[in-house]
Amino acid sequence: QDALLEIKELHTGFNIDGKMHYAVKDVSFSVKPKEVVCVVGESGCGKSVMSLSVMKLLPKHNGKIDKGQVLFKGKDLAPLTDKEMNKIRGKDISMIFQEPMTALNPVMTIGWQMDEVLHNHTDSSNAEIRKKSISLLKQVGISRGEQIVNEYPHQLSGGMRQRVMIAMAIACQPQLLIADEPTTALDVTVQAQILELITKIQEEVGMAVMLITHDLGVVAEMADRVVVMYAGQVVEESDADRIFYEPKHPYTKALLSSIPRMDENREVLNTISGIVPSLKNMPERGCRFVNRCPEAMPECSEIDPELGETEKGHSVRCILYDVSMPDASKEVHQ
C-alpha cells in the first residue's frame, strides 16, 4: 500500500550562535494509511523535533528544515508557507501534545475553542458547529458536553483536557494524528484510559497514528510498526513483533532491557548508562551511540553507520549489521 506520510532524508537544524546544529539528521521512514507507528527513544533524541517538522511548527527564529522531504499523500510539505499549512493542520493532519494546557487558550471556553477548529475548515452554521462539538465530546467519552462547552480549561482535570484535545484533533476526520507523549503528564490510570481512547478513535475514524513516546510499554500496547531514534537518527525500524522479539541495534536492546518486568521485584530500574549527546556535542563522525554501546569497536568512531535493511522490513544503523562492511568485524561480533 502507498505511504500516507513519507519522510525522506529529513534534516532539521537549529541555528545556535551562527552554526547549524542538527536535531534531526537524515531521518527517513513512512506511515501507511490506518497504521499505528510508534517513534521511540529517550528524550533529546529528536522525536519531537521530527514531528514538529512534519507539522511545520518549528520555532521560527532559529529552527528550520534544512534538507529532505515530508511527503503527505505524495505532496511535499517542507516548502509550504504557513498559510498553505493552515489548510492542512487540523484537517488532514492533527497533533496532540504532552501538556494540553499549553495548547488550549486559558481565557476561552472549551466550546469556543472547539467551534473554532470547525469554523476554520467547514462552512457549517454556528448552531450546527456547536452541535458537532458536543457530539465530538461524547465521542471522546465526555458525556456532559453541554456543560463542558461553557467551562474553561483550568476547570478540567488533565485527563479531561487531553480528551478535549483529542476531540479537537479528530473534528475534521484527519487521515493522520500525531501524538507526542500524549499521556506522559497524566497519572497511570488516566494514561491507560487515554491510550484506549486513541485506539478506539483510530479505528472509528480510520486514521493513521504516529505516536511519539519514550515508554516501551505503550509501544507494546499500540504499535503496528516501530521506529527507534537515537541522537537525531533512526537506528532501527521494523514491525512491533520483530522490535520486541528480535531487536538488533544495541540501543534498542538497551531500551528493552530497561523496561521493568512484572515478574521481577526490582528496587532499581535498569537504566542505560550515559546520556544522549546534546545538540552542541554531537560527534563529528562515527556512530552516535559509541560511548554508551556495550558492543562498540574502534571502527565505530571512524565510520558513519548507514541505515540498511538486514532483511525485508527490518532496518538497522550499526556496523555490526552493515552488509557493506568488511567481513572481519562481522565474524567477530555476530
Task: Write out the residues near Mg ion by the rule CB under 5 A.
Answer: 48
- Taking the complex as a whole, the smallest distance from the CB of residue 195 to Mg ion amounts, in Å, to 17
Contacts of 278 (CB under 8 A, 6+ apart): 44
Range 206-265, binding ligand SF4 (CB under 6 A): 250
CB under 5 to 8 A by kind: which of ligand SF4, Mg ion, none does 48 bind? Mg ion
User: Going edge to edge, which strands form the sheet with 36-40?
Assistant: 93-96, 176-180, 208-213, 36-40, 225-230, 233-239, 314-317, 307-311
Per-residue contact string for residues 31-70; x = within reach of ligand SF4 by CB under 6 A: ----------------------------------------
Whole-angstrom CA distances from 277 to 1, 281, 316 are 37, 6, 20
Range 281-300, binding ligand SF4 (CB under 6 A): 287, 289-290, 293, 295-297, 300
Contacts of 138 (CB under 8 A, 6+ apart): 145
CB under 5 to 8 A by kind: which of ligand SF4, Mg ion, none does 205 bind? none
In angstroms, the CA 305 to CA 323 distance is 11
Q: Contact between 319 and ligand SF4 (CB under 6 A)?
A: yes
- Grid coordinates of 257: 532491557
Per-residue contact string for residues 167-206; x = within reach of ligand SF4 by CB under 6 A: ----------------------------------------
DSSP summary character for residue 89: B
Give whichever of 189 and 324 is closer to ligand SF4, judged by the CB atom.
324
The dihedral built from the CA positions of residue 179, 184, 190 and 193, taken in this order, carries a sign that is positive
Could you list the residues that contact ligand SF4 (CB under 6 A)? Answer: 250, 287, 289-290, 293, 295-297, 300, 305, 318-320
